[in-house]
Amino acid sequence: MTVESNRKFFGAIHRKLGDAGEWSLQGWNVNVTTSGTIVRLECKTKFARGEATESFVWRVRGESASLMGYHINSVALITD
């Protein structure tokens, strides 16, 4: 995805669900590889207009991290 498509994607989530609030970590996994460390996090997040389960996949190299993947599941995204 490009920076612009990411901006539109996260903007659409924000328009539908509102501000993110309280969240809790549901699970995590760390995998060390030759191309970097892969960190997977699953969170349950309360947004202003609904709840969601979010999954993040980060690649950590040295002292920097890059978001490789993001998934969100929420009934509030598909209802009015």
Q: What digits encode the pLDDT tens for the residues 21-69?
A: 999 999 999 999 888 899 999 999 999 999 999 999 999 998 999 999 9
**The model's pTM:** 0.86
pLDDT of residue 19: 97
pLDDT of 80 strictly over 70:
no
Domains, in order of start, for the chain: 3-77 (3.10.450)
Task: Compute CA distances 64 → 36, 38, 51, 58, 61, whole Å.
Answer: 10, 12, 30, 10, 6
